[in-house]
Amino acid sequence: MSWMFEKVAEEMGLRPPAGGFKEEAQRIEHRRDPLTGRWSRINVRRAGRLEDAAGSVDYEGLARRSRDGCAFCPENMDEKTPRFSPDLIPEGFIARGETRLFPNLFPFARYHAVATLTRSHFLRTGEFKARQIEDAFSAGVDFLERVHNRDTGARFPAIGWNHLSPSGASIVHPHLQIIMDSRPTYLTGLVLEGCRRYIEERGSSYWADLVREERMLGERYIGSLGRITFLAAYAPFGNGEVLAVFDGRSSLSELDRGDLSQLSRGVVRILRGYAAMGVESFNLSTFSGPMEGAAEGFSLHIRIIARPLPAPYHTSDTGFMETLHLEKIVEMLPEDVASAMKKGF
């Protein structure tokens, strides 16, 4: 085991009724994130828990019931979506391909936009096209640059994607959220500080060291596209987590057209991998340095995690340990995630 990857393995003995009360041991791994020190707990046996999912999901019904009056569908946008002030976006919105970007009606940041990904009201995880994702991200970066040019105090950007209700999405129609603040999010701040501390202590970039170690070990390395390396996260934030690390880019402001193209192609491959696993809901977020770029030792990166199926009464994957103790409990080994995702690369 590399020095970067710390874990503690424990076992709990019990006698389950399904096995005739025969003694068995279940393995729990505690894994520590190499940069922030955050811990995750893994027990693959939890994937076999009985959950209150009411059979298979009726995706056609979900799309049909939620489509009527959807503000994000093209025929309703002009009447039902807000517009930016002319001094920020003279046109009131940004249009690119199937994307329209406009203000979030209920913002939680000083600058908060929504960008539709598709004209279609509903797409399943494996149905997204690279061009749709590229156009949405491109519009998002355009918005961030316009904001920063107008307000240099707005420095820290993030682009996120909640797909379907288990991820926190209140609208079925696929969309990104783009925010800009004067300060980094809590986790981004931890990572920025961790990167500075790592350079002081070791004289090298954490992200470059991480990618080199993961490539050498091969257990969690998925593949690379351009300057982006895709890994299964060692200490996951959630099930099926994939980490995308940019080489030579510390901020969303530094992405060029080639970067956006490679990113979009990679995300599509990850989503198709999720589809093969039966995953239909997920979260994605960028973690970016400030818009002026060149954050010391920091690499722009993206995290994608799987969420439960959007079925009625389904058990949430977030409980007291995740919400109040900030330790994630997952039921998929990162090494197994990497093995499954490699097929798409």
CA-to-CA dists, residue 159 to 67, 178, 260, angstroms: 25, 5, 13
Residue 115: what are its φ and ψ, rounded to 5°? -130, 115
Q: Are residues 146 and 229 in the same domain?
A: yes
1 within domain boundaries: no
Mean pLDDT across the chain: 94
Residues 156 and 263 occupy one common structural domain: yes
Residues 40 and 68 in one domain: no
Task: Please report which confidence band the pLDDT of residue 278 belongs to, taking 50, 70 and 90 as the band edges.
Answer: very high
**Domain count of the fold of the chain:** 2
Q: Is there a single domain that holds both residue 44 and residue 67?
A: no
Same domain assignment for residues 35 and 148: no
Same domain, 150 and 39: no
Whether residue 62 is predicted with pLDDT greater than 50 in this model: the reply is yes
The Cα 99–Cα 39 span in angstroms is: 37
Range of the domain at 31: 6-48
Q: Is the confidence at residue 54, as pLDDT, over 80?
A: no
113 in the same domain as 231: yes
First to last CA, the chain: 25
Instruction: Output Rg (C-alpha) for the chain, integer angstroms.
Output: 21
| One domain, residues 31 and 151 | no
Residue 74's CB: how many other CB atoms inside 10 A? 14
User: What pLDDT does residue 19 have?
Assistant: 83
Tell me the three-class secondary structure of 12-23, residue by residue: EEECCHHHCCCC
The secondary structure of the chain in percent helix, strand, coil, rounded to multiples of 5, reads 35, 25, 40
Alpha carbons 23 and 12: distance in angstroms, whole number: 10
Q: Which of 255-269, 278-292, 316-330 has the lowest mean pLDDT?
A: 316-330
Residue 26 shares a structural domain with residue 107 = no
Question: Residue 50's pLDDT is what?
Answer: 53
- Let me know whether 162 and 272 are in one domain: yes
pLDDT 10s digits, 34-49: 999 999 999 998 887 7
pLDDT at 55 over 70: no
Which residues share a beta bridge with 81? none
Could you tell me if 12 and 152 lie in one domain? no
Global confidence as pTM:
0.95
Please write the tens of the pLDDT for every residue from 102-126. 999 999 999 999 999 999 999 999 9
Task: Determine phi and psi for 204, rounding to 5 degrees.
Answer: -145, 170
- CATH number, domain of 114, equals 3.30.428.10
Q: How is residue 279 annotated by DSSP?
A: -
- Tell me: do 14 and 80 sit in the same domain: no
DSSP three-state, residue 136: helix
